[in-house]
Amino acid sequence: MKPYVGRADRLAQRAERLGLDLLLVSQLVNVRYLTGFTGTNGAFLVGPARRVFLTDFRYVERAKEEVPDFDRVRGREDMLESALEIALDAERDREGRVRLGFDESHMTVRAHAKLAERAGDRVELVPAGGLVEDLRAVKDEGEVSAIRAATAIADDLYRWLISEHGLAGHTEREIALTLERRAQDLGADGLSFPAIVAAAANGALPHAIPRRDAVIPRDTLVVVDLGCVLDSYRSDCTRTFATGEIDAEARDCYKLVRSAQEAALAATQPGADVRAVDRVARDAIAAAGRGDQFGHGLGHGVGLEVHEAPRLAPSATGSLEAGNVVTIEPGVYVPERFGIRIEDLVHVTAEGPEVMTSIPKELIVV
Ligand code: ZN
Ligand code: ZN
């Protein structure tokens, strides 16, 4: 069964609770989540009794196949204008002002000004962002299986890197590009984001860019962060490898990150406050005197996008729910020396955390 009708219904309920007559969804990932549409220009309008999918002439045929569950309207190239026309029609029908919700974080000031001018007094534009993102944070079984499958390919990719390809003697960039090709050979549609391969001091940058001219030496640490895309769903995983002997400080830091990561995994339970989960890892790292060497949030949701709700961080709010799929990825970054990050993908369930990633976490020498 296609899940789209249920998603649209849940969104309509939320829109109604905000007193909206119509909600305009214009961000493509959200449109895809709600309707199944895979083209590059589409929008979706949801109201108590209306579900209208809009696209332009290029996608009319595709929409017939991909979006069979909803009314389809061929709009102009500017979807927003077409959506507004539907809202204006609604206003005519009911002879009263229509409240049209839109996502303020995905609309330019210019687009908003244009809409507002045409809307006049007849349609009130109401900022109502984040509603679809909230729905997306809780995955259904089909989505969880897709993420599991994407994770399994990424795990195969890691196993291939560890046991067949190796790290030392190649440049960071060579490895990043090889991983991209190999992911496709293994059945992925691609990587979730350009792979991070960062040796020694480059690993101390959480968002390191693989260097073209940096040949990975023996006896250092290498951070590898990657995920795979399969059927639009993504995965995300980081492992830190050794290319030989590493010194006592690096070994201690590895143990510290691993134990902080495992403590946070155990805390990844439905109902847990997202800040409290972050704090479990942060406190463990701070207790070892390295609090200032862990400068990013503990994790993030993963699904159609590699960074989505919920966020686990000191500044985040809310609590985890069964159905969330989040990363748990503490790190310790020692400037000019090395970085260590360990990241697993976790499905939050009523029975406890299901760790999807299957790559071991003891320090592997590659
Ligand atoms: Zn990652
Ligand atoms: Zn991540």
| Mean pLDDT over the full length of the chain | 96
Question: How many angstroms is it from 261 CA to the middle of ligand 2?
Answer: 13
Angle at 317 between CA 313 and CA 320, to 5 degrees: 85
Question: How many angstroms is it from 84 CA to the middle of ligand 1?
Answer: 39
Write out pLDDT tens, residues 216-238: 999 999 999 999 999 999 999 99
Dihedral sign, CA of 246, 250, 255, 257? negative
The lowest-confidence range among 36-50, 240-254, 280-294 is: 36-50
**Local structure of 103: helix, strand or coil:** coil
Question: How many angstroms is it from 341 CA to the middle of ligand 1?
Answer: 9
Give me the mean pLDDT over the 99-128 stretch. 94
In order, the DSSP letters of 153-222 are HHHHHHHHIIIII-STTSBHHHHHHHHHHHHHHTT-SEESSPPEEEEGGGGGSTTPPPPTT-BPPSSSEE
- The pLDDT assigned to 1 comes to 52
Q: How far apart are CA 324 and CA 353, in angstroms?
A: 10
Q: How far apart are CA 263 and CA 256, in angstroms?
A: 11
- Is the per-residue pLDDT at 44 higher than 70? yes
- In Å, the largest CA–CA distance within the chain is 76
Listed residues: CB within 5 A of ion ligand 2:
236, 327
Question: Residue 323 — very low, low, confident or very high, per pLDDT cuts 50/70/90?
Answer: very high
**Local structure of 88: helix, strand or coil:** helix
- The ligand whose atoms approach the alpha carbon of 223 most closely is 1
Question: How many angstroms is it from 227 CA to the middle of ligand 1?
Answer: 7
Write out pLDDT tens, residues 119-136: 999 999 999 999 999 999
Q: Could you list the beta-strand ranges (E) of 31-79.
A: 42-47, 50-55, 71-74
Listed residues: CB within 5 A of ion ligand 1:
225, 236, 238, 343
Q: Tokens for 364, please give them.
A: 């592997």
